[in-house]
Chains A and B, each alone.
Chain A
Amino acid sequence: METIVSLPVEMDAAHRRHFLGGEPIVFHCHHYNTFLQRSIQDAHFIDSDPFLIGAAAEVAFAQLTSLIRQEQCSNEADRRELAERVYSWSGFGTLDFSGLTVTGGVMTTPNSHYAAAWNAKWGAADRPVCLFTSGWISGAMSAIHDRPLGDYHVDHPSCLAMDGTQRCAFDVTATPASYTKFEAVGAGNLTDHGAHPFPCKNVDSEGVYNAVTSMPLVGDATGSIPAFGVYLTHHYANYYNRIGFEMLHNAIDQFGDEGRDVVQPLLVEAGHVCAFNTFGGIMKSSEWDALIAPSLETPEDWVHGIVAVVNSLGWGRWQATEVSKHQATFVVQDDYESVGYRAMYGNAKFPCSYLAQGAAAGIMNLVYKGDIQSRPELTPEFYRSLFRSHDAYAATPLKSRAMGDDVTSFRVARV
């Protein structure tokens, strides 16, 4: 176990997964976070607030309960401080629990990842957007006060994402919460595996992994992690899993296969958005220039280079086992979506690693279609040119760990 900035983060290099307080954590940026939430809220036929809030309560409660035990935080002040530290370290903003008692109270903050991101990406919101934070506070309060999950109700009457608002506000009461209560599944079942060989001698994957996981990518005084042109978060894999899969299941329950067919493209598109902004930003960064770019000779090397970085994000072990400008095969072991699906719902009936599917296609579009090597600006127009045209790369699932296969894999080719 390696301690990073006084939090006991477990870097599981064998599985390329990261854990804090037993919860798998993954890097994702503000583009992905807001795009995913908006996609879910677009489905007006789904009552999504209960699971958008409940999923956050689930992971916060599980993680903090574990950390409180692990760190032996016996008094309330230490527990509150720990919760505040985890939240800001993760890049979610800042919270101050000092004004809350066991019966609740009002908490306000001038720093919120979701609110700032929403405002920057979509403009002023017409309703409060910090549903994640509402759930997180509820789960944290239960952990701090040794109460069961769901014992704290959190209202979010004002939000920085809305016009004319200076702070996010949360009213906390010790009354039963109205969100959906989920049982946390933690790490799930990971596989014993070796790395698949991949055809590239110009990328030192282990060196990249060690270098990137050693970078101080943690929240600053405002609880932000500005890096690579985006705002990163150490987010919860099982939060993403829960909200995405709950949306999917709700749509299927109501509309069968058509519900699934409508939701899936939105979840894959979120992966495109992620790859474009985060991977694009990484491949234009000074860190990339210093650490990885000097040894890269071909576009294929660039694919392997960014895949080496992806291995440092906690998403599982990624490999591009075959790469050319015509097509590529990506093999992912212990991808967090599949592992989470199986732990939450059992074996899937269809491939459901949507983030990975979109991200794999995004890599190919950035390298072969977008010539990221020439350092283009990552503008909305550039995004459109990469993903809208009829010759864009798209990923097709070949294997799915969620369905019981040994790995998750995709073939990526031009449509």
Chain B
Amino acid sequence: MAGELYKVLNWMQANGDVGDVDRLRVKVLPLTLKEKIFLAKVTQQTECSSDLLGTIRDAASELVGQPCPA
């Protein structure tokens, strides 16, 4: 799963509103910290579980208002 989270955040930056990534961070904070992931420090090497990736992708899609590409 390395790099997938990074792609989601990049997609959000490109397609979302100002502050959408900040909103995502607060919405999924308990889940990301369970896997010791800090969304502000995600790199292409950051790995996460498929469950978390799916949750973050869903939240990103909802915030941006369009489906986040897999």
Contacts and interface: CB of A to CB of B under 8 A. Distances in A.
B22 A261 contact: no
Contact of A255 (B18, B22, B27, B33): B33
A384 B22 contact: no
Given A258-B38, A261-B40, A266-B23, A43 B18 contact: no
B29 A258 contact: yes
A269 B40 contact: no
Contact of B22 (A44, A45, A266): A266
A262 B29 contact: yes
A265 B27 contact: no
B51 interface: no
Contacts, number: 45
Interface residues of B, number: 13
B25 interface: yes
Secondary structure type dominating chain B contacts: helix
A383 interface: yes
B29 A43 contact: yes
Contact of B27 (A44, A258, A261, A272): A44
Contacts of A251: 26, 29
Contacts of A261: 38, 40
A265 B33 contact: no
Interface string B27-40: 10110010000101
Interface in B1-41: 17-19, 22-23, 25-27, 29-30, 33, 38, 40
A269 B24 CA distance: 14
Interface string A10-46: 0000000000000000000000000000010011110
A259 interface: yes
Nearest to A269: B19
A387 B27 contact: no
Given A45-B30, A255-B33, A262 B25 contact: yes
Given A380-B17, A384-B17, A384-B18, A42 B23 contact: yes
B17 A43 contact: no
6 contacts: A39-B23, A251-B26, A255-B29, A262-B25, A269-B18, A384-B18
